[in-house]
Amino acid sequence: MQMTGAKILLECLLEQGVDTVFGYPGGTILNVYDEIYNYGDKIKHYLTAHEQGAAHAADGYARSTGKVGVCFATSGPGCTNLTTGIATAYMDSSPVVFITCNVNENLLGKDAFQEVDITGITMPITKCNYMVRDVKKLADIVREAFAIARSGRPGPVLIDIVKNVTAEKTDFVSLPREEHASHGRLGALIRRASHDLKAPEPDLGDVEKLVEMIKNSKKPLLVCGGGVVRSRAHKEFLELAERIDSPVAITVMGGGGFRGRSPLTTGIIGMHGSQASNMACDACDLLIAVGCRFSDRVALEPQSFAKQAQIVQIDIDRAEINKNVEVDHHIIGDAKRVLQLINERVEPQTHEAWKDYVFSFKTETEYDTCSHENTLTPKQISDTVASICPEDTVVATDVGQHQMWVIQHFHYDYPGQLLTSGGFGTMGFGLGAAIGAKVGNPDKTVIHITGDGCFRMNCHELCTEQFYNLPVITIVYNNGTLGMVRQWQTLTYNGHYSQTTLDRGPDFVKLAEAYGLGGKRVHTVPELEAALKEALSCGHGYVIDCAVEIDEMVRPMVPVGGKITQFLVD
């Protein structure tokens, strides 16, 4: 049937089962938005306040549901506004398809109004990107883009379509998703020797070797990375940990990959890792990292990282093997499948003495509460939130001290429960991500944990929350400073608080009210409890502005490039 490019695009989204998209219209993408108008009953479009918010929302939607997120933007500033969101998704391997339009073919390269080379700009922050200049190739490219975004190590893909293609007509025949891999470009790509959509079946010899290593290990440590979350391998991971009775350290991206309340968890590992995690890492004789790339925030000093241990890396992306830390053994494959194969083969073990040693160190830092009369400690906030909100509450964070506190003190039980920008460290990620998560999980409570610095960056998305009636609860750790930077300035820059003190507006409660949402400023635990209860029952978005001491620090802390056990602060 003859259809315009814009209509083909939307038909392709339906083929993929997409019913939710985020975005922001503009001149070059008008034809697509005209079809979005016609497809309103099948595809729900969420209009954000800013393209960055739309990008984070699509990302948050993808992370929390495991589906591919979709985000639209126009040419020029529309798509450059996406870039921070694209990079955030790329660093954390989140599957999002970004669709932008560019100027007419005849204007390409003429520096036309709102023209920019977005495929060039996004080359290093996408798995791949496409520029569509021929309407006959559009359907094929969209099918390939979705397949690539979700397969293997997931990640963002960008499709840039020149405006005239969205208006031109060609024949379109709908194709069920299962058949995409055997048709067109995608089919050709897979028939070629080098690539496949399916993860490779793990090498059994490699698995046997690891099983043997586990058998010989007296002091094993498992590290749960973001790959466990992406692969939804939490059950298999828990089974392995319990079977071999091994302590489990969790990376920031691994939150939700291992049951946070399990007696085997040692807390997070790395720069702000718990004493138990970091000491275990230093003393273990076998470290098995699943879906973890040993970033500089985990393996701060690669040479001394787990120096007494044989290090084993399990990853779907072979380019990660030996990238940051040299490993003794590796298995390539999907975390879920690899863990299944190990679980089928490994003998149950007990490691009482080793666990006694590891858990003689603290898995969580205690905070002094008595010196605070009119402020809350980070631990008090997370404990109160944990005690009042449902156990399966989805938590989206921004970046900085509050992020570390809420990852350290809140327990995550399933993949997609914690949404945080661990790789790119994007301030302003949280609110958009929370909105996306709430859209994808309307029955779950979604809270957005932020600091006063981060919240100020993208708080305009409160209007999205209000308009679509998405009751997200924002909890601001308001310490009047860019806390993480101030912490470094305190510890390593002689207390020169250069441009980090935020002694300025706005009043977040009034801001929330201006957007038609509820808000409350709280200083004590009972006040916080009351505000949370109101937020949970009011049925609309709510901002709770928590007073936190300006000099509260994230503890423990290991300096950049330091040995993992050299705590700068305990």
Partner 1 sequence: MDTVRRQSLSVLVDNESGVLSQVSRMFSRKGYNIESLAVGTTDNPAVSRITIEVMANDQQTNLLCNQLRKLLPVHSVKLLDLEKSIRRELILLKVHTASNDACNRAIQIANIFRASIIDVSTTTLTIAVIGDAQKTEAIIDLVKEFGVLELVRTGMVALERGADTIYEATKEKGEFDYGKNVL
List active site positions: 51, 113-114, 163, 484
Part in contact with partner 1 (CB under 8 A); list of ranges 118-126, 162-170, 284-292, 302-310: 118-126
Comparison of 98 and 542: residue with beta carbon closer to partner 1: 98
Q: Which of 17, 77, 109, 200 binds partner 1 (CB under 8 A)?
A: 200
Contact between 197 and partner 1 per CB under 8 A = yes
Q: Give the CA distances from residue 28 to residues 73, 135, 166, 346, in Å, rounded to whole numbers and listed in that order.
A: 9, 15, 9, 57
Q: Which of 123, 353, 538, 560 binds partner 1 (CB under 8 A)?
A: 123
Distance CA 105, CA 269 (A): 51
Contact between 198 and partner 1 per CB under 8 A = yes
Contact between 193 and partner 1 per CB under 8 A = yes
Q: Which of 319, 350, 505, 570 binds partner 1 (CB under 8 A)?
A: 319
Contact between 73 and partner 1 per CB under 8 A = no
For the chain, the straight-line distance linking the first and the last C-alpha, in angstroms and rounded, comes to 67
SS3 sequence, 23-84?
ECCCHHHHHHHHHHHHCCCCCEEEECCCHHHHHHHHHHHHHHHCCCEEEEECCCHHHHCCHH
User: Are the beta carbons of 224 and 260 closer than 8 angstroms?
Assistant: no
Q: Is the dihedral of CA 481, 483, 485, 489 positive or negative?
A: positive
Contact between 196 and partner 1 per CB under 8 A = yes
Contact between 6 and partner 1 per CB under 8 A = no
Contact between 151 and partner 1 per CB under 8 A = yes
Angle in degrees, CA 267, 273, 275, rounded to 5: 80
15's CB contacts (< 8 A; 6+ apart) are 143, 174, 175, 176, 177, 180
Q: Which of 174, 182, 216, 322 binds partner 1 (CB under 8 A)?
A: 322
Part in contact with partner 1 (CB under 8 A); list of ranges 36-44, 48-56, 60-68, 122-130: 122-130
User: Minimum distance from CB of 245 to partner 1 (Å)?
Assistant: 30
User: Minimum distance from CB of 86 to partner 1 (Å)?
Assistant: 15
Contact between 195 and partner 1 per CB under 8 A = yes
Q: Spell out the alpha helix ranges (H) of 273-428.
A: 275-283, 335-345, 352-358, 378-388, 401-409
125's CB contacts (< 8 A; 6+ apart) are 83, 86, 87, 90, 156
Part in contact with partner 1 (CB under 8 A); list of ranges 151-159, 237-245, 399-407, 554-562: 151-159
Distance CA 438, CA 423 (A): 22
Contact between 191 and partner 1 per CB under 8 A = no
Bridge partners (DSSP) of residue 9 are none
Q: Are strands 418-419 and 446-451 parallel, antiparallel or unpaired?
A: unpaired
Order across the sheet with 220-224: list the strands: 265-268, 248-250, 220-224, 286-290, 310-315, 329-332
Comparison of 330 and 456: residue with beta carbon closer to partner 1: 330
Side-chain half-sphere of 442: how many Cα atoms within 13 Å? 5
Contact between 203 and partner 1 per CB under 8 A = yes
| Amino acid code (one letter) for 72 | F
Contact between 295 and partner 1 per CB under 8 A = no
Q: Which of 21, 158, 199, 482 binds partner 1 (CB under 8 A)?
A: 199
User: Minimum distance from CB of 340 to partner 1 (Å)?
Assistant: 17
Contact between 126 and partner 1 per CB under 8 A = no
Instruction: Number of residues interacting with partner 1: please give it, by CB under 8 A.
Output: 33
Contact between 296 and partner 1 per CB under 8 A = no
Contact between 226 and partner 1 per CB under 8 A = no
Task: Using CB under 8 A, list all residues that contact partner 1.
Answer: 119-120, 123-124, 128, 147-148, 151-153, 189, 192-201, 203, 316-319, 321-323, 326, 330, 332-333
